[in-house]
Amino acid sequence: MADPRTRRLRLWSSAGIVGAVLCAVLLVPPLVQLDEQAVDLSLKLLPPSPEHPFGTDDVGRDLLLRCVYGLRISLLVGLVAALVATVIGTAVGAAVASLGGWTDRLVMRIVDAFSSVPHLLLGIFIVAMFRPGVWPVIVSVALTHWLSTARIVRSEVLSLRSRPYVDAAISGGASRWRVAVRHLLPAVLPQAGLAAVLMVPHAMWHESALSFLGLGLPSHQASLGNLVQSARSSLLAGDWWPTLFPGLLLIVPTLAIAGLAGVWRDRLNPRRRSELML
- Name the least confident of 32-46, 162-176, 257-271: 162-176
Distance in angstroms (rounded) separating the CA atoms of residues 34 and 226: 20
The single-letter DSSP state of residue 162 is T
Cα 203 from chain centre: 4
pLDDT of residue 48: 87
pLDDT of residue 275: 37
Report pLDDT digits (tens) over 194-220. Answer: 888 888 888 888 888 888 888 877 777
pLDDT of residue 83: 92
Distance in angstroms (rounded) separating the CA atoms of residues 209 and 213: 6
3-state secondary structure of 56: strand
* Average pLDDT, integer, range 80-87: 91
The single-letter DSSP state of residue 174 is -
Burial zone of 168 (CB within 10 Å; 0-12 exposed, 13-18 middle, 19+ buried): exposed
Q: How far is CA 264 from CA 7, 165, 190, 254, in A?
A: 11, 26, 9, 15
pLDDT of residue 171: 67
Count of CB atoms situated within 10 Å of the CB of 127? 22
Cα 35 from chain centre: 27
Burial code (b: 16+ CB inside 10 Å, e: under 16) for 256-267 equals bbbbbbbbbbbe
Are 203 and 223 in contact, with CB atoms under 8 Å apart? no
pLDDT of residue 84: 92
pLDDT at residue 256 above 80? yes
pLDDT of residue 25: 82
Q: pTM for the whole thing?
A: 0.80
pLDDT of residue 268: 67
Per this entry, what is the length of the chain?
278
